[in-house]
Amino acid sequence: MIYLDNAATTKMFEKCVDVYKNYACNQFFNPSAGYNVSLNISKELNLVRQHLLSKLGLDNGNIIFTGGATESNNLAIMGSKRNGKWEYVFSEGEHPSVYNVAKKLEQDGCVVHFVKLQKNGQIDYDKLNEIVNERTRLISVIHVSNETGAVNDLNLINKIRKEKAPQALIHVDGVQAFCKIPFSLSDVDVDFYTISAHKFHGPKGVGALYIKNLQTIKNIVFGGGQEFGLRSGTENIPGIMAMDYAFSNIDVDKNFNIVKQLKQHLLNILLSDEKVEYLETESPYILSVGFKGVNGETLMRALQDKGIYVGTGSACSTKKAGNRVLESLGQTKDQIKTHIRISLDFELSDEDVVNAGKTILNTYHEIWEKVK
């Protein structure tokens, strides 16, 4: 098996299982209890917050542990909502866990703007500049597109915020960026940043939200007041500690260069056929590739039978027709149908990628001969 759908999820590090087991079976105490062993767990929890801030390139700020990216995105958006004539701005390239929250705001009567994408997959900064104004409450934008690998310029977005709406908050969905592309939040001023552990070899069902200032957000879950009152419920200590192990043992710069080379090896094979189309983007981890004349889902299923696993887009929206993100880039429905999403990982070998590339191209040719 060669797994090429790492944007959907990654294989958990085996060591994470040992960490998880230790905190589930040995150090299993509730950090909110008053006895010493629980207080020690609470201290360890706060150390993980500091580790995560450091991995983000920050010295200060707040980390709220959540059940994953969907919850973090919902908390950032709905928790920052305020009454009054505020406006909310999103890109059309957002993951469903952001886009559908934006649609909910719209249904509730809020003024919501969706900014189109450029042909390179990035948000249209000129349109963003036109839309942002003194009534803007929140700008929410994905850091790295889960569909194309396009990387949005957070500094430029922040510049627009400062010039047009200094009161506005910026939320960034960093799920496909954190532990994958080199960046530091010390270089850009954002208010909220979302991460999800299972995208970087940690466990499923755990994530975090960086919050610059706790006063800018309100809770949307009510209960015992854990996580500074913003996310009530006993913390998932085993998951959090396993997540800590995962991100602490990832060398972002080294892995980025490895994946960059793997991507080039793969493209050298695929683009040897002029019928294959590829959208050039900055992140080497995600490739959106079109195979002229062949349905992407047909190709995906045929590859599955040969032990090659690719995707056709966001795993959270594969049951829905079309592709909202690719449509926003100006691609036709016929073009979109031919696309598959290939997402790489640093644990793949050159041999894996070469074998996968040859198999993908050969399988495409087999189907093409039948349908042309």
The domain ranges of the chain are: 2-9+251-371, 14-248
- CA dihedral (293, 298, 303, 306) positive or negative: negative
Q: Is 234 helix (H, G, I), strand (E, B) or coil?
A: coil
Structure confidence at residue 330 (pLDDT)? 84
The answer, yes or no, to whether residue 186 has pLDDT greater than 80, is yes
256 burial class (0-12, 13-18, 19+ CB within 10 angstroms)?
Answer: middle
- Half-sphere exposure for 291 (CA within 13 Å, toward CB): 27
Structure tokens at 141: 């934008």
39 burial class (0-12, 13-18, 19+ CB within 10 angstroms)?
Answer: middle
Q: Label residue 312 by pLDDT band (50, 70, 90).
A: confident
Out of 3.40.50.360, 3.90.550.10, 3.30.1360.120, 3.40.640.10, select the CATH number for domain 14-248.
Answer: 3.40.640.10
Q: How far apart are CA 338 and CA 367, in angstroms?
A: 12
Average pLDDT rounded to a whole number, residues 31-46: 93
Could you tell me the pTM of the whole model? Answer: 0.96
pLDDT averaged over every residue in the chain: 95
- CA dihedral (273, 286, 130, 103) positive or negative: positive
Phi, psi torsion values for 223, nearest 5 degrees: 175, -130
The answer, yes or no, to whether residue 16 has pLDDT greater than 50, is yes
Q: Is 288 helix (H, G, I), strand (E, B) or coil?
A: strand
Out of 3.20.20.220, 3.90.1150.10, 1.10.287.3240, 3.40.50.450, select the CATH number for domain 2-9+251-371.
Answer: 3.90.1150.10
What percent of the chain is predicted at pLDDT more than 90? 92
Counts for the chain of helices (H) and strands (E), in that order: 12, 12
Q: Label residue 371 by pLDDT band (50, 70, 90).
A: confident
Other beta carbons within 10 angstroms of residue 231's beta carbon come to 23
